[in-house]
Amino acid sequence: MTTVMSKARAALQAARRVAVLTGAGISAESGVPTFRGEGGLWRNHSAMELATPAAWARDPVLVWEFYDHRRRALVDKAPNAGHRALAAFEGRLAGKRRGFTLITQNVDGLHEAAGSRAIVRLHGSIWRVRCSRCGREERDHATPVTPGFAGPGPGPADLPRCACGGVTRPAVVWFGESLRDEDLEAASRAAAEADVLLVVGTSAVVYPAAGLVPHAKRAGAVVIEVNLEPTAARAHVDHHLTGPSGALLPELLHA
C-alpha cells in the first residue's frame, strides 16, 4: 500500500464526519462518457451548449434528443466498484453513528442504484422531468421519452407533456441556472462540517460545486482526491490518489 493511500485511509478512519463530492469520472468505468473526455460530444454538440436554457428555448426537440440519447445509453449501465464502495462505506459509518453525506454533480442515478442514501444531487436527475408551465416535477424513466423519439426526426408534437398540457423538460440544472437553495445549503453545511472531504472523478471546473472544496478546506477538512490526474482543485488537496476510482475507492474505503 502506498504511503499516500495509508495516510488517506488513516484520515478517513479517524473522521467523525465524512463528505464526498463526485463528478462524471466516477461513472466512467460504468461506460458512461464524461463531459470533457472524448465521449463528451454528441452529434458534434458539446453538453455545454445543449445543457442551457438558451438551447431549450431555441430547440427543445434537439435538447430532448440529447437527453433521450443519454437516458437510453444509461439503461444497460450499472454502478461500478467505486459507487458500491461508497455505498458500503456509508452503511458502515451509519452503524457507528458517524456522519456521511454524498454530494454528486452527476445526474445518472448510479449512486442511487448502488444503494447510497444520503445523497445531495446538486445538478438534479436525468430520471426526473419538470413541467415548464406548472412546475410539477416527477420521476420519468421512459426510454424513448415519448414514442416519437424512437425514430429519426421527432418534432414538437412528440415532446413530452404534463397533465396540464405544458411541455416537460429534464429536471437537471443547466449552465446559467441556479442550483436549488436547499441542495446548495445541504452541500455547503456537509462540506463545512466534514473532517474529511473525498473528491472523486471531477475536473473541478464547474461552480458552485467546485467551490465546496476550498470551502471544506477552510473549515479544517482533510481533502483527499481520487482522479486519473491532478485537477483544478489541486491547491486544496492534501492527498491525491492517482488512478481509476473503480480500483482505488474499494482499497481506500474497505474496513
Q: Which residues are catalytic?
A: 123
The DSSP output letter for 136 is: -
Nearest-angstrom CA–CA distance, 73 and 191: 32
Of the residues 131, 171, 179, 252, which one makes contact with Zn ion according to CB under 5 A? 131
Of the residues 10, 150, 164, 228, which one makes contact with Zn ion according to CB under 5 A? 164
Measured from the CB atom, the residue of 51 and 103 that comes closer to ligand BV8 is: 51
Q: How many residues does the chain have?
A: 255
Angstrom CA distances, 138 to 62, 135, 205, stand at 22, 10, 29
Residue 227: contacted member of ligand BV8, Zn ion, none (CB under 5 to 8 Å, by partner type): ligand BV8
The yes or no reply on residue 178 touching ligand BV8 (CB under 6 A) is yes
Buried b (16+ CB within 10 A) or exposed e, 37-59: eeeeeeeebebeebbbeebbeee
The answer to whether 117 and 98 have CB atoms below 8 angstroms apart is: no
Residue 37 Cβ vs ligand BV8, minimum distance, rounded to whole Å: 6
Residue 154 Cβ vs ligand BV8, minimum distance, rounded to whole Å: 19
Site residues (CB under 6 A) for ligand BV8, limited to 33-62: 34-37, 47, 51
Q: Name, in order, each residue with C-beta under 8 angstroms of 114's C-beta and a sequence gap of 6 or more.
A: 79, 83, 84, 86, 87
Residue 134: contacted member of Zn ion, ligand BV8, none (CB under 5 to 8 Å, by partner type): Zn ion
The yes or no reply on residue 138 touching Zn ion (CB under 5 A) is no
Tell the residue number behind the cell numbers 473549515, with chain if given: 219
The answer to whether 7 and 239 have CB atoms below 8 angstroms apart is: yes
Task: Name the residue number minimizing CB distance to ligand BV8.
Answer: 25
Measured from the CB atom, the residue of 38 and 76 that comes closer to ligand BV8 is: 38
The yes or no reply on residue 24 touching ligand BV8 (CB under 6 A) is yes
- Residue 138's CB is within 10 A of a number of other CB atoms, namely 12
Residue 162: contacted member of Zn ion, ligand BV8, none (CB under 5 to 8 Å, by partner type): Zn ion
* Cα dihedral 63, 64, 69, 75 sign: positive
Which residue ranges make up the site for ligand BV8 (CB under 6 A)? 23-25, 28-29, 34-37, 47, 51, 105-107, 123, 172-178, 201-203, 205-208, 226-229, 231, 244-245
Interface residues with Zn ion (CB under 5 A) are 131, 133-134, 136, 162, 164, 166
